[in-house]
Amino acid sequence: MKDQLEVLRQSWRTLSKVPGGKKAFSKFVGRMAPYTGTIGAEVLELDKGWAKVALKDRKKVRNHLNSIHAIALMNVAEVASGLAFTYSLPPRTRAILTGLSIEYLKKARGTLVAECRCEVPSTNERQEVEIEVVTKDKHGDIVTKARAKWMVGPL
């Protein structure tokens, strides 16, 4: 039986190549992690140590200041870090988020893109890895910078 990460990888490899496949994959991710699915983020790119995830500005993710809610911004950063990091972990490896911090640098409006590039461990040796996620608006301005800490270890 395939593990969850192998199912995720195979799903991306298959769905990302077909029309509407990235949206379908994004919904799949939201079903694997139901709370994550509440923001309706869309995975745009995914490869070893790299993910780009879009968050559309809509009423469901807005706050009382008429901008995207701080926790929705945190959530999209977590999604980008988790996908970029876990997508390429070696076999028989697990990862769990142990810390997440974020700086809010600009009011978040419009469609945003969270991007994460990171080194992925080559073994399942127990270790903590910290990675950065930058979220930008449609003008290319940085809206948030997040730091995610992932604990890696054997299954």
**pLDDT reading at 1 higher than 80:** no
- What's the CA gap between 127 and 47, in Å, rounded? 22
- What's the CA gap between 143 and 9, in Å, rounded? 29
Query: What are the phi and psi torsion angles at 147 (to 5°)?
Result: -125, 125
The three-class DSSP label of residue 106 is: coil
CA nearest 146: which of 128, 122, 136, 68? 136
Q: What is the CATH number of the domain that holds 144?
A: 3.10.129.10
Q: How does pLDDT run across 84-139, given as a tens digit for each residue?
A: 999 989 988 999 999 999 999 999 999 999 999 999 899 999 999 999 999 999 99
What is the strand order of the sheet 42-47 is part of? 42-47, 50-55, 112-117, 127-136, 142-154, 93-104
Residue 12 sits in which domain range? 4-154
The whole-model pTM stands at 0.92
Number of domains making up the chain: 1
Q: Residue 96 in contact with residue 151, Cβ under 8 Å? A: yes
- What's the CA gap between 111 and 147, in Å, rounded? 21
Q: How does pLDDT run across 19-66, given as a tens digit for each residue?
A: 999 999 999 999 988 888 999 999 999 999 999 999 999 999 999 999
**pLDDT reading at 3 higher than 80:** no
